[in-house]
Amino acid sequence: MPTQKRQRQPQSSPTRRATLPQARTPANVRSDIWSFARPVENKIVYNDVSVVLPPHQYIPYRPKSRYVGCIPCEDVGRRTLWANDRTAQTTNLANHLRTHENWEESCLKRGIKPKPTSNKFDDNLSTLRSRPLNQDGVLYFFLRWIVIDDQPLSIVESKEFRQFFFYCCRDLNETDLPHKDKVRNGINTLFKKKQSEWMADAQNCPGRVSFTTDLWTDNVLHAFMAITAHFITEKVENGSPVWKMESRLISFKNIIGSHTGEALGQAFVDILTECGLAHKVGRITADNASNNRSMTMEIEAALQRRGIEFDTNEQYLRCFPHTINLVVQTFLDHIKDIPANAICDTTIHAALLADPVARCRNLVATLRLTSNRRDEYRRVLKKAIEDGNFEGKPLELIRDMVVRWSSTYNMIIRYLTMEPGRHSTGLLHYPLLKVVDLMLNKPAYHKINKDLNLSEEERRVLQDIQRILLLFHSIQELVSSEQTPTLSIAIPTYEFCASTLSKIIIDNIYPSLEHALHPAVAKLDKYIRLARSNRVYGLAMVLNPASKMDWIQKHWSDQDVERCRESLIDSVAAFRKKELLSQQKDLPALDAPNSNRKATSKAHANLDSGFCCLSAIADLALQPSKPTLQSSTQPHPPSAFPVLTAEQIDARAREDAIREVQRYLNEPLVEHHLTGVDLLKFWQDKHLPNLYPNLRKVALDILPVQASSVPCERVFSSAKHTATSTRAQSSPRLIEMLQILKYGL
């Protein structure tokens, strides 16, 4: 049901609203490049040197043309053309312009400061060369190369490899270069040292440690259980606390035997015990597999036997992108299930029954089946480009995978890019169907089904499907950050997706797909209810100073709003109770200092862009700010700690928690800017320990909680390069050490 917009009231301070990000990115406003680039639409006309070009008008931002030409080259009688891919980097263009001697001078004349050349190989050579050259240093950097670059350990036994070093470094002796056994022992020693340092950071962090976990199988069918730990470290710099979000791969354990929930749960607890983190478990994010819930139930039972609190219903979170993928698969599975009373065009009805997604998948699979077909596809496409019938890059077709997020969307969008259709205005003017026809007309391909190409109606339906999948793809990308807290936007994104799909149905935007959208919305509603029942999502939203209770009050029932507020008060009261108990025992507070470096805010800027767009689309205007309470309501350090009973401590803790929460909620909402709301920077503010001493502790627990298991997916993407055929004889334990070191170094 649409939410009624609140009427804006006149006030002295401006209403806090989300600000939309600007359209251009920094790469698009590099005036030292685009001021010397001519917009070009027709490359054939431009490359004809007999054509007189009009005077160029200097513009400081990237043009919208299909190509760009080099102005300095034109000045010397040459024509140099570049494809203007708006998603690409500008490094090649910048390097080309630097080949012109007068380029920097021309920039300075126009008041433009040329951006300096970046060297990706510059690793602070002066610092490296200041270190003494000894066997320990050689071994350390050699091990880093082996680990990070996925080199086989046996490379040190290569005669040619050792000859290369002896030739380059004439002072090296045979004993200076390590052999395989020393490399293996060195990896073991380095692993123990680094793992000890990383685990000390996690054990001593001021808040809870949250985890993600998943399973992966290598080429020789070894099963590995990845567990990543996420926590906030803190140290004092210039008198102010500095927080940083840390992510560590703490285990890549080989799992032998059945992968039941009980077995995985026991393995998880063993790893927690080994790392000394059983007492600091926060939330665990995993996919929706049934054995993951039984795994967390086994973890709950094992921890409770040790007297450690753990609640599966509260501390097990379902991976957001995995959930969205289940909704996507539900939508795709019901495309052919057209109800008998459905009213649609007969040609569209036939296109739906043919299943355009399956037809697209079949076409891609057929063209990619053998190396000969792939080579022939490339040859036909290259010939079309040379003939001027195809403009753009010779893109490969992509095959989807059911378990890979957004893969069906990527397959469809690539097909539609290569196949603009008869009535569309794509950049590519040589439709894919002609490429396929040219291939199938050759004698070698006569046995292939000639009905591979999609009809115009099937392509039209496929375009509608792609537009719907774009919604799912966008929100998956939004919450897949690892270094930036994204849990606070999980439920708003869930409900934004559900409301958008409902609007599509109500407004009859895609009538031919309505029958498939209904079960998708039902599936999504199921997971929204499960997410709402977990209080961590509400806590994360309230701890976001840009939303606090505002979004919840506009979109949830009064009962859910009150339950969320009570959850926050209970969480704050729990920390306040510990503080009171420590005062009763004349003990210091529980906060523990830690060491790390300053956090970067680039990831927060990227997240805020997506969140601002989401807020703007949903029209979530924030409430007018309320006046800040006077200083008389600020907490005062007690001069003495009277002895209190257990009931008095509970009552006192709750009263203090209510006052602290109310102070926070009464503060104005933080306004969104393009640079983003950096949640870590907000909660690490040096003034907040006096204002919100216990809310900060709640934030230390909640901010590291992961909305997705993307960290594990990134581990698996890297692991396929760690467990290669050159390391086929390596033990699972060695693979685990290599993978953990690669993740952390």
Burial class from Cβ neighbours inside 10 Å (0-12, 13-18, 19+) for residue 389 reads middle
- Can you read off the two tokens belonging to residue 305? 């036997």
- Work out the number of other CB atoms within 10 angstroms of the CB of residue 207: 23
Q: What confidence category does residue 113 fall into, taking pLDDT thresholds of 50, 70 and 90?
A: confident
pLDDT surpasses 50 at 588: no
> Kindly report the CA angle at 192 between 189 and 195, in degrees rounded to 5?
140
The residue type of 740 is I
Higher-confidence residue of 566 and 488: namely: 566
Question: What pLDDT is attached to residue 83?
Answer: 82
Residue tagged 């006192």 (tokens): 652
Residue tagged 């979000």 (tokens): 245
- Long-range (24+ apart) CB contacts under 8 A made by 79-83 are 79/46, 79/47, 79/49, 81/40, 81/43, 81/46, 81/47, 82/37, 83/392, 83/393
Question: What pLDDT is attached to residue 624?
Answer: 28
The Cα–Cα gap between 156 and 108 comes to 51
β pairing state of 209-217 and 223-237:
antiparallel
Question: What pLDDT is attached to residue 72?
Answer: 87
* pLDDT tens, residue by residue, 311-359: 999 999 999 989 999 999 999 999 988 887 766 678 888 888 888 999 8
* pLDDT tens, residue by residue, 119-132: 555 556 667 777 78
Of 560, 690, 698, nearest to 637 (Cα)?
Answer: 690
Burial class from Cβ neighbours inside 10 Å (0-12, 13-18, 19+) for residue 445 reads middle
Percent of the chain with pLDDT strictly greater than 70 = 79
Pick the most confident of 525-534, 626-635, 637-646, 680-689: 525-534
Q: What confidence category does residue 664 fall into, taking pLDDT thresholds of 50, 70 and 90?
A: very high
Question: What pLDDT is attached to residue 547?
Answer: 85
pLDDT surpasses 60 at 658: yes
Residue 38 DSSP symbol:
E
Contacts of 609 (CB under 8 A, 6+ apart): 21, 674, 676
254 neighbors 736 (Cβ within 8 angstroms): yes
The Cα–Cα gap between 555 and 453 comes to 46
Using CA atoms, how far residue 210 sits from 280, 319, 506, in Å, is 8, 13, 40
- Can you read off the two tokens belonging to residue 453? 């190409």
What torsion, rounded to 10 degrees, do the Cα atoms 424, 428, 432, 433 define? 50
550 neighbors 623 (Cβ within 8 angstroms): yes
Q: What confidence category does residue 80 fall into, taking pLDDT thresholds of 50, 70 and 90?
A: confident
Higher-confidence residue of 15 and 218: namely: 218
Question: What pLDDT is attached to residue 486?
Answer: 74
Mean pLDDT of the chain, nearest integer:
79
The Cα–Cα gap between 277 and 204 comes to 10
pLDDT surpasses 90 at 19: no
Q: What confidence category does residue 662 fall into, taking pLDDT thresholds of 50, 70 and 90?
A: very high
β pairing state of 281-286 and 316-318:
parallel
The Cα–Cα gap between 103 and 374 comes to 43
The alpha helices in 102-228, defined as continuous H runs, are: 103-109, 125-130, 135-148, 159-168, 180-203
Q: Please tell me the total number of residues recorded for the chain in this structure.
A: 745
Burial class from Cβ neighbours inside 10 Å (0-12, 13-18, 19+) for residue 159 reads exposed
706 neighbors 482 (Cβ within 8 angstroms): yes
Domains within the chain, CATH numbers bracketed: 31-109 (no CATH), 188-319+709-744 (3.30.420), 327-478 (no CATH), 542-599+626-667+678-702 (no CATH)
Q: What confidence category does residue 110 fall into, taking pLDDT thresholds of 50, 70 and 90?
A: confident
Higher-confidence residue of 465 and 8: namely: 465
Q: What is the pLDDT averaged over residues 470-494?
A: 79
Q: Is 234 helix (H, G, I), strand (E, B) or coil?
A: strand
Q: What is the DSSP string of 348-374?
A: HHHHHHH-HHHHHHHHHHHHTSSHHHH
pLDDT surpasses 50 at 215: yes
Q: What is the pLDDT averaged over residues 235-263?
A: 87
Residue tagged 């640079």 (tokens): 675
Q: What confidence category does residue 116 fall into, taking pLDDT thresholds of 50, 70 and 90?
A: low
